[in-house]
Amino acid sequence: MEYFTKEGLKKFMEELNQLKSVERPSITKQIAEARDKGDLSENAEYHAAKDAQGMLELKIAKLEAIAADARVLDENNLDTSKVVILTTVKIKNKDNNAEMEYMLVAESESDLKAGKISVDSPMGKGLLGKKKGEIAIIKVPNGKMKFEIMKISR
C-alpha cells in the first residue's frame, strides 16, 4: 500500500496518464515507422523502439499497481505528538548544532530539494515515532549521527 497527499496522488496520476496517452502512442508510431523500412531482422530502429516499448509497458504496469493500492492521507487528522508520515519535523544535529526541517512522505513523493524525505529512507526510519525532545540516532555510512527532535508540526 502506498500513501499519498492529495497533491502527490494528483501528480502521480498525471504522470501515469502522460505515459499512457502520450508516450505509449509515440512509441507505437516509432515502431510502425521502423517496420515500414523493411527487413526487421537487421533494423536497429525497430529493435530499439520495441525495447523502449517493453520498458514503458513495465513502468506503466508498475504505476498502475501502485495506483490500485493508493491511499490518500488526511493531513488534518495527523497526530503531531510524534513523528509520523506527513508531519514536518525540525531537528538539530547534536554534533554541529545545525538545524534542519523535513516533511516525511512516501517514497514516491520524496524530494530532498523541497525538504521532503521518504519514511523509507534511513533518516525517515530513524525519525519515525520519535517525540519532541527525544534523540534520533541515524545510521550513516561512516557511523551514527544524533539528532534532537526540536518541533513536530503539520
- Residues 91-149: tens digit of each pLDDT: 999 999 999 999 998 888 889 999 999 999 999 999 999 999 999 999 888 889 999 99
State pTM to two decimals.
0.66
| C-alpha cell, 94 | 547534536
Q: What is the CATH number of domain 2-72?
A: 1.10.287.180
How confident is the model at residue 36, as a pLDDT? Answer: 85
Task: Say how far apart CA 152 and CA 154 lie, in whole Å.
Answer: 7
At 122 the pLDDT is 92
CATH architecture of 75-153: Roll (3.10)
Number of other residues whose CB lies within 10 A of the CB of residue 98: 10
Q: What is the pLDDT of residue 6?
A: 83
Q: Which residue has the cell 534523540?
A: 135
Rounded to whole angstroms, how far apart are CA atoms 82 and 79? 7
pLDDT, tens digit (0-9, with 9 covering 90-100), for 27-81:
999 999 888 887 777 788 888 999 999 999 999 999 999 889 888 877 777 778 9
Could you state, in order of their start, the residue ranges of all structural domains in the chain?
2-72, 75-153
